Amino acid sequence: MPRFPESPSAALIHAAGKGSTSSGDRSAATERRSAQRVRVSREDLEGYYPTSDDAGRHTAADVVRNQHDLTDPTQPGPGQRWSTWRSVAKGQRGPEPLPDWVVTRDAAIDTELGILKTGKEADAFLIERAVPAGVDSTPDLTLDQAATRCLLVAKRYRSLEHGQFHRGSEYTEGRTVRRTRDQRAMEDRKSAWGRAVSATQWADAEFVALRTVWEAGAPVPYPVQIDGTEVLMEFVGTEETDDLGRTQAIAAPRLTRVRPSDDLLESYWEQLTHGMSVLARLGFAHGDLSPYNILADGERLVIIDLPQVVDLAANPFSSDVLLRDCRTVCDWFIARGLDVDADALFADLLAQAF
């Protein structure tokens, strides 16, 4: 996987907490970057990097276009890399038809804007993929593609060594791993190759699941591409410009944090059950469905975090997993005042699956 040319950590929010005690000896360049640094709320960093001044906000990132002094802004600088769009094979890119916002130009540069969330097994980063100003902005006619800037989420899986993988055989039971060498390697958790393969397998599983269910019409982020342990997908959220003219990317909140009106609650229920039905008809259960893995993007609801999708036919635990998904989401809707029934939803989904 192509790496960012220099460690991007200096541009990331989690450095802010650490830096607060040593701001006196920072260089001017570091200070400048710090002022432009991504802002992320406490809830979005739970357990890892406590922040001080953003309580009540959603994940928010200052969108920085020039984080560094560049002699040539058309070349990647620190915290940047060339767009990886062309460096992956066609099968590692998202399904057709490609949404028109996806940037595919060779001249595009990926800029890491900050970390959205560190998870147990993966970290989610906000990435801007953009053709820099100064590069001929005429669309590449062979690609018939005009987009010059988009925001993406890079979900990067950690190897077992660094992650705390809690998803075990309950999920992978009945799943086929393509190469027996990989299968054996995964079982041998002491080998570095085994740990690396495992992280790649989870990334692979998430990308394939996203691609399959997106194509079938489920409300999930568009999967842009996969590159080793990194899945790039649509950023679900909005961009806003404040009074000072600063643009911020604001990630959609998780369902846990919203209090929708009655009408919106009903609409969310319909969107969610539609998504679960699409999965069921494909023979899947999400496997970790909860208000934490559902984003409320205004009126749109988006299901995320799908690496552990469970095969309803092949996995002996699938009924338990599906029932748990149904109960978890129904509990949330019931607590918000909607009269729904987990057992009825479970029965309905099973009927659609088989």
Ligand X SMILES: Nc1ncnc2c1ncn2[C@@H]1O[C@H](COP(=O)(O)OP(=O)(O)OP(=O)(O)O)[C@@H](O)[C@H]1O
- Based on the shown chain and the rule CB under 6 A, indicate whether residue 233 belongs to the binding site for ligand X: yes
| Residue closer to ligand X (CB basis): 288 or 353 | 288
| Residue closer to Mg ion (CB basis): 16 or 116 | 116
- Of 48, 43, 47, 53, the C-alpha closest to 20 is 53
Q: At 95, phi and psi to the nearest 5?
A: -70, 155
Q: For Mg ion, which stretch binds (CB under 5 A), given 18-26, 85-93, 271-279, 298-306? A: 298-306
Across 187-220, b (16+ Cβ under 10 Å) vs e yields eeeeeeebbbbbbbbbbbbbbebbbbbbebebbb
- Based on the shown chain and the rule CB under 5 A, indicate whether residue 43 belongs to the binding site for Mg ion: no
Near ligand X by CB under 6 A: residue from 112, 121, 227, 230: 121
To the nearest 10°, report the CA torsion of 88, 94, 95, 96: -80
Number of residues that bind Mg ion (CB under 5 A): 2
CB of 308 to Mg ion, least distance (A): 10
- Based on the shown chain and the rule CB under 5 A, indicate whether residue 206 belongs to the binding site for Mg ion: no
The secondary structure element, H or E, covering residue 200 is helix 192-215
Across 126-141, b (16+ Cβ under 10 Å) vs e yields bbbbbbbeebeeeeee
- In single-letter form, the type of residue at position 80 comes to Q
| Residue closer to ligand X (CB basis): 62 or 121 | 121
- Based on the shown chain and the rule CB under 6 A, indicate whether residue 201 belongs to the binding site for ligand X: no
Query: In angstroms, rounded to a whole number, what is the distance separating the alpha carbons of residues 272 and 304?
Result: 12
- Of 234, 232, 236, the C-alpha closest to 87 is 232
> Distance of CA 93 to CAs 97, 284, 322, Å?
11, 22, 29
CB of 289 to Mg ion, least distance (A): 10
Selection from Mg ion, ligand X, none that 116 binds (CB < 5 to 8 A by kind) is: ligand X
What DSSP string runs through 95-153? Answer: PSSPPTT----TT-EEEEEEEEEE-SSEEEEEEEEEPPTTS--S-BTTTTB---EEEEE
> Distance of CA 43 to CAs 10, 85, 127, Å?
22, 32, 20
Selection from Mg ion, ligand X, none that 251 binds (CB < 5 to 8 A by kind) is: ligand X
CB of 27 to ligand X, least distance (A): 31
CB of 69 to ligand X, least distance (A): 30
End-to-end distance of the chain based on CA atoms, in angstroms?
A: 39
Near ligand X by CB under 6 A: residue from 8, 194, 237, 275: 237
Please, which of residues 277-296 interact with Mg ion by CB under 5 A? Answer: 293
| Residue closer to ligand X (CB basis): 233 or 279 | 233
Q: For ligand X, which stretch binds (CB under 6 A), given 87-95, 121-129, 179-187, 320-328? A: 121-129
Near ligand X by CB under 6 A: residue from 205, 226, 304, 310: 304
- Based on the shown chain and the rule CB under 6 A, indicate whether residue 254 belongs to the binding site for ligand X: yes
- In single-letter form, the type of residue at position 198 comes to S
Q: For ligand X, which stretch binds (CB under 6 A), given 31-39, 169-177, 248-256, 333-341? A: 248-256
Residue nearest to ligand X (CB): 119
- In single-letter form, the type of residue at position 153 comes to V
Residues found near Mg ion in the complex (CB under 5 A): 293, 305
Residues found near ligand X in the complex (CB under 6 A): 44, 116-117, 119-122, 124, 153, 155, 221, 233-237, 251-252, 254, 293, 304-305
